[in-house]
Amino acid sequence: MELLKNIRGSEDIKKLPVAQLPALAAEVRKLIVEGVSRTGGHLASSLGAADLILALHYVFDTPRDRIIFDTGHQAYAHKILTGRADKFASIRQKGGLSGFLKRYESEYDAFGAGHASTALSAAAGMAAARDQAGSPHRVVAVVADGAMTGGMAWEAMQNVGQLGTDLLVILNDNQMFISQRVGRLGRILTKMLTLGTVQSAERKAELFLNRFQFWGKKILRVAKRARVLFFPGMIFEEMGFTYFGPVDGHNLAELTEVLGYVKDLKGPVLLHVVTKKGRGYEPAEEAPTSFHGAPKFDIETGEAKKAAAKGRQAPTFTAVFGSTLVELAKKDSKICAITAAMPEGTGLDLFRDTFPRRYYDVGIAEEHAVTFAAGLAADGMKPVAAVYSSFMQRSFDQVQHDVSLQKLPVVIAMDRAGIVGEDGPTHHGVFDLGLFRMVPDVVVMAPADENELQHMLATALYCGRPAMLRYPRGKGFGVDMDPEPRALEIGKGRVLSRGRDVNFLAIGNRVHPAARAAELLKAAGIDAGVADMRFAKPLDGALVRELAAAAPLITAEDNALAGGFGSAVLEYLNSEGLDQRLLRLGIPDSYVEHGKPDELYEEVGLTPEKMAAAAAKWLGRRAEKAAA
């Protein structure tokens, strides 16, 4: 790391001649591969964008000039080049660097990013603020091509075109459909255009033709349409952007030259840069999807490192969801599946490969996914939209307005519900119970384990109502699986044990930890029971009343306490005039940072030991004895 050891930011990079930039990029990639191999993380995208990020910091005066990234998947090189190389080994670890961009982590992180399609809107706002202040600094948005499938990106594009403000958008294109343009002709055209001569001639011709009200404007329209044969960015031109590219995103000499040309152009500019995911690490180049969110892996082989097996291995909740949906769809031709660009992440890759005609990938467009599902349901299909819990926050209006209000039987399967671990607060799915239990006519359920998940999926599909099914990331609890999924009675929980001193009302993946907490309490002389409540809505009020009559209650949930499952129980007790004591355990009113799930559950008090100690303290018994 001979070059990298002297780099702390943009000023240090500028001291190097352009000829040394490829060597610096190689060192950056080496550090990324070494670090992610030990911690896991977003590898392929960050390797692909390393040259582009290096060129941006070389040409622009960061952090004075603002660079805004769409998501943080592509930004590991940005962190390394801006004074965080010595901390990179801590990325995504508790107390270490975030895997995403954070304004409080570095002055170079101009805007936080965890969800896709936000960079253009944020950059437009920053450019407008700059214009208001009369500042001379530049604003750059780096948008990966996948993020351009999100509707928010296009909303921002039309707004920027309307504003006409100075803003550079880098379209980081890592697909192959336009790669043939990255050649001699593309370089020549881009250089000619960025020098300004052609732009000036075009403006003069347009002014001239616009003087002639009828035939002049007609000729101008024909001329503009003809340009699309030579310029694939015509759609951006029509939206008010000046388009340049495509440019080879791994040719640093050319990239820095082109960026030098475009950085001071006036108005909205879009530079189309073509990169390759996984660049510089062969396993990631060959399998970029596998190395998008990579687990720990062996650098030599690229193979994932697996923890030593201990007894029977439980399947993941995602795998159980995917396989159960396929089995149900074999018996019902009306079942179809929708994903927002996450087939592998949601487990729908199996459905895609089994029923390609009933599978829909709508791109990074969660809002569209839900209303698209509503349209399918309106005409008799049984759609299942699988979306990460934290991404479903974008689709609240669609659930309320397009699904619930029309009472359409759409199933929303929310993977990654609750604490997800190393991805941190942008990805923890800890708000869905509170968000969706307030919506009328919606069933909201959470399985205790992988066996209950298969039954809840069948329940959601055949309840005839809008249904929200939320389940966590990672492996299940290793329970026995019933041979066939079956529908459960809506709004009915089940009692696992009854306590004379206290009863846990648990939901989702806190049911089994609550059962363990009850065992710890019993060992300390506190008779505790546990109920698997299953449904946040409709709530099993009869079961709440029954257990409240016997002992004080403790709710346990992997969700924000504000408005969550515990709030639903509290509301029920209040509405029924029941004055039983209630302790709510869940995610406090603050964002949970990144770390291993076990570390984070310990921090928020949702491990069996912490739950038992909290219960004992609340009941007036010695917490130490209960947690021992």
Catalytic machinery residues: 277, 366, 394
CB atoms under 10 Å from CB of 150, counted, come to 26
172 neighbors 273 (Cβ within 8 angstroms): yes
475 neighbors 343 (Cβ within 8 angstroms): no
Instruction: Please report where in the chains the tokens 């396993």 appear, as a residue.
Output: 283
Helix axis angle, 44-59 to 21-39, nearest 10°:
140
Which among 183, 250, 248 is positioned nearest to 47, based on CA atoms?
A: 250
Which among 514, 496, 499, 512 is positioned nearest to 552, based on CA atoms?
A: 499
Q: What angle do CA 348, 316, 44 make, to 5 degrees?
A: 65
Q: CA 56 → CA 74, 144, 145, 189, 348, distances in Å?
A: 13, 15, 18, 21, 37
Provide the token pair at 582: 């209630």
Which among 472, 522, 466, 469 is positioned nearest to 497, based on CA atoms?
A: 522
Q: Which amino acid is at 628?
A: A
| Cα 176 to Cα 74: distance, rounded to the nearest angstrom | 18
| Cα 18 to Cα 20: distance, rounded to the nearest angstrom | 5
Strands 335-339 and 359-361: parallel
Provide the token pair at 192: 């000619």
Torsion sign (Cα): 421, 425, 426, 427: positive
449 neighbors 476 (Cβ within 8 angstroms): yes
Mapped onto helix, strand or coil, the DSSP state of residue 156 is: helix
Which among 407, 400, 290, 393 is positioned nearest to 345, based on CA atoms?
A: 290
CB atoms under 10 Å from CB of 356, counted, come to 8
Question: Within a 13 Å sphere around the CA of 203, how many CA atoms are in the beta-carbon half?
Answer: 7
283 Cβ contact partners less than 8 Å away, ≥ 6 residues apart:
291, 297, 301, 302
Provide the token pair at 329: 């769809």
Instruction: Please report where in the chains the tokens 């499952």 appear, as a residue.
Output: 565
497 Cβ contact partners less than 8 Å away, ≥ 6 residues apart:
515, 518, 528, 529, 530
Q: Pinpoint the alpha helices (H) of 195-250.
A: 197-209, 215-227, 234-238
508 neighbors 536 (Cβ within 8 angstroms): no
Q: Is 316 left (phi over 0), alpha (psi -120 to 50) or beta?
A: beta
Which among 409, 519, 513, 399 is positioned nearest to 461, based on CA atoms?
A: 409
Instruction: Please report where in the chains the tokens 């190395």 appear, as a residue.
Output: 291
| Cα 166 to Cα 159: distance, rounded to the nearest angstrom | 13
